[in-house]
Structure 1
């Protein structure tokens, strides 16, 4: 498998280790914050600020990476900040400090995302983008399986002892930092006559980007507006009567399916087309969200979470591979950073919208709206976009 270069392997293991660290804390973060006095409102504000920081910084640092022609320094700094944020969360329970630590974590994600995905793109050809991004997503998601599993094991032995878990999460983070020093920049050159990059200068890319990019990203962002946090899926099965352990187990099961399927679906996408696999993923999303309107037993939700894992495997890495195939090589980090930046903001709005619909009309209508809008987006992408190798500006 010549397409799995040294750089692809290093980036994939870095993402795996970082996700182990992050996902160790994911199941217990809301519990920990409430235990130190955070209200639900304050937790919402905290996550909103964190996601806004990540979203805006992705576009800016993607633009800076393209302008400088450098990738590795941004990747290294981004993963370092995210690793350092883990023990910082346990230093003190002072709210301002917690906000600072959480923001540092998301800032790290914003700094590294565009540069990392651009470096992955540089390591692939148009015919291998799907499998390279798919392999990276598979490795990343293995960390998302291992992290919660380790957290469950730890909490079984030390229930309600949360602070040491933040210190333990620092260990895989440090290993990820160490691996990042083995990365080397590709042969990308700095852009000549590039003015100083302002924080919002990446927004100008939307005006100068290829028409195929605007059509694709417009559809992707519309989908994101109705693709709320996975927390709502977990809340739905908890509402249906599953235990806490079963609920977390479903989340782990979803990530296992995602991890196993992402690489094979990436290979399939390279063979039959990124667009076909991506739209199939959206249709799986429609089935899952429609199924969530039905109250069922645990194996019904197990089937839905199985399909949800396939949906994620068919869309997450594939969307970035698609974007990188319709943009210029020296704009890849800006293009992906701009998309993921807007995506973060749309995700915030999506969760707010779903939460309001759930509160006002119930879970069924909330999931139905998401399913119907996703069906519309799938139809739009099938008509308004071409396969990446056929796309023109």
Structure 2
């Protein structure tokens, strides 16, 4: 099989694994808050569990990325992460206390932290044959398809069965299916790094300095990107959408996310870093529409929010694959995920405070951060060559 066709098949199969995983844990996450309340947890507990879970989910990736590169056990670590990420979800149906449910939720977030850096490194090898933007964009599109399917399946089970426990049980199906495909995939492609041609810079032992500048731009964007729970809170408080229609807004965002990932991935392969500038500008438009508009304008704002998410989950990672030597890539993705997650966490906390004091201040902060990232992307563009897939004129003095 020609390399390009084999690489495309590899990316699609890995994307299917992510689709099943997202259907499993996003399906669960759509009701875990309500489930904890049913089990007797307080609002404070729910907030702490959710926040601490995200902190684990991003913070642990720093160590996992480094460990993956040092051991070269990319498949083994990825498999362990997916097992923990998805296999624990159906056991939520057996949780009789909120403490048990909270522990399982922490385990699920830990699994996601373990599998993400090595998975992204593996994906980058296959994407190198078909276009990194397209490869990561296709993966994100499949990923978000699962993120829509899971909550819809859970909603259907609750509608017909009326209990959260039955909804968790149905998630056994995507969990098992995804793990079967993952196991088969590593036998079919034991060394995905063979897809990527070895080049001189791959022997560089340090990460390029341009990566640090790029990470700064990404952190700025993440800090000002309002999380959906805050948006949903605003919709409920201002009667922009009801409790029944808010999930539909989220489904729209996820659908736009999937489409945007494919489009931006395609454009990244043809225009390079420049498309990140466009994505940052479009992201700056969501806050005023979401927080100041009526239902129709809020829906348009959600579409821009989804566009930004699609770009962030696809081309931001695709760009890293062209900057960093492949033997350091899992480390880079671990650093990226940790920095992104920490910045998102701090920015979300600040925007929650700003919301209670001044929605205008929140909008200014959110939009300004997206626009502030643009000069950083311009700098990276001037020092980055997507045609060669490596930074331009990187010397030993340009590493960190």
TM-superposed deviation, 1:96: 3.4
Partner of 2:170 in structure 1? 168
The counterpart of 1:133, out of the listed 131, 136, 160, is: 136
**Partner of 1:175: helix, strand, or coil?**
helix
Looking at structure 2, the residues matched to 140 and 132 of structure 1 have their Cα atoms a distance apart, in angstroms, of 12
The counterpart of 2:179, out of the listed 157, 162, 177, is: 177
**Partner of 2:285: helix, strand, or coil?**
helix
Partner of 2:197 in structure 1? none
Looking at structure 2, the residues matched to 344 and 314 of structure 1 have their Cα atoms a distance apart, in angstroms, of 16
Deviations 1:31-80 (A, max 9, x none): 11112121121112112221222222212111111112222111211111
Deviations 1:116-161 (A, max 9, x none): 11001111328711000000000001111112222222222234x1
> Is 2:226–2:351's contact at 8 Å kept on the other side of the alignment?
yes
> What pairs up with 1:192-271 in 2 under 5 angstroms?
208-241=206-239, 242-271=241-270
> Is 1:16–1:143's contact at 8 Å kept on the other side of the alignment?
yes
Partner of 1:278 in structure 2? 276
Partner of 1:74 in structure 2? 77
> Is 2:89–2:168's contact at 8 Å kept on the other side of the alignment?
yes
TM-superposed deviation, 1:388: 4.5
CA, structure 1 residues 127+85, in 2 after alignment: closer, same or farther (shift >3 Å)?
A: closer
> Is 2:276–2:377's contact at 8 Å kept on the other side of the alignment?
no
Looking at structure 2, the residues matched to 7 and 348 of structure 1 have their Cα atoms a distance apart, in angstroms, of 33
TM-superposed deviation, 1:187: 6.1
Partner of 2:201 in structure 1? none
Looking at structure 2, the residues matched to 69 and 287 of structure 1 have their Cα atoms a distance apart, in angstroms, of 42
Looking at structure 2, the residues matched to 236 and 328 of structure 1 have their Cα atoms a distance apart, in angstroms, of 43
Deviations 1:317-357 (A, max 9, x none): 10111111101110011101111022222222222111111
Partner of 2:359 in structure 1? 363
Looking at structure 1, the residues matched to 256 and 59 of structure 2 have their Cα atoms a distance apart, in angstroms, of 31
CA, structure 1 residues 188+316, in 2 after alignment: closer, same or farther (shift >3 Å)?
A: closer
Looking at structure 2, the residues matched to 104 and 157 of structure 1 have their Cα atoms a distance apart, in angstroms, of 29
**1:186 maps to 2:191:** yes
Looking at structure 1, the residues matched to 27 and 192 of structure 2 have their Cα atoms a distance apart, in angstroms, of 36
The counterpart of 2:150, out of the listed 147, 150, 157, is: 147
> Is 1:292–1:364's contact at 8 Å kept on the other side of the alignment?
no
> Is 1:322–1:388's contact at 8 Å kept on the other side of the alignment?
no
CA RMSD of aligned residues (A): 2.1
TM-superposed deviation, 1:304: 1.6
**1:380 maps to 2:376:** yes
**1:318 maps to 2:315:** yes
Ranges in structure 1 where 5+ consecutive residues have no aligned partner: 190-206
The counterpart of 2:289, out of the listed 274, 288, 291, is: 291
Deviations 1:195-252 (A, max 9, x none): xxxxxxxxxxxx9421100000011112222223221122222233211222111111
Looking at structure 2, the residues matched to 208 and 335 of structure 1 have their Cα atoms a distance apart, in angstroms, of 10
> Is 1:62–1:337's contact at 8 Å kept on the other side of the alignment?
yes
> Is 1:142–1:259's contact at 8 Å kept on the other side of the alignment?
yes
TM-superposed deviation, 1:3: 7.3
TM-superposed deviation, 1:384: 4.9
Looking at structure 2, the residues matched to 382 and 234 of structure 1 have their Cα atoms a distance apart, in angstroms, of 33
Deviations 1:276-305 (A, max 9, x none): 222211111110112223131x22222222
**Partner of 1:244: helix, strand, or coil?**
coil
CA, structure 1 residues 99+261, in 2 after alignment: closer, same or farther (shift >3 Å)?
A: same
**Partner of 1:54: helix, strand, or coil?**
helix
Higher helix share: 2
Looking at structure 2, the residues matched to 295 and 265 of structure 1 have their Cα atoms a distance apart, in angstroms, of 27
CA, structure 1 residues 60+239, in 2 after alignment: closer, same or farther (shift >3 Å)?
A: same
**1:16 maps to 2:19:** yes
> Is 1:55–1:345's contact at 8 Å kept on the other side of the alignment?
yes
Which range is displaced more, 86-95 or 56-65?
86-95
**1:27 maps to 2:23:** no
The counterpart of 1:157, out of the listed 160, 165, 168, is: 160
Partner of 1:198 in structure 2? none
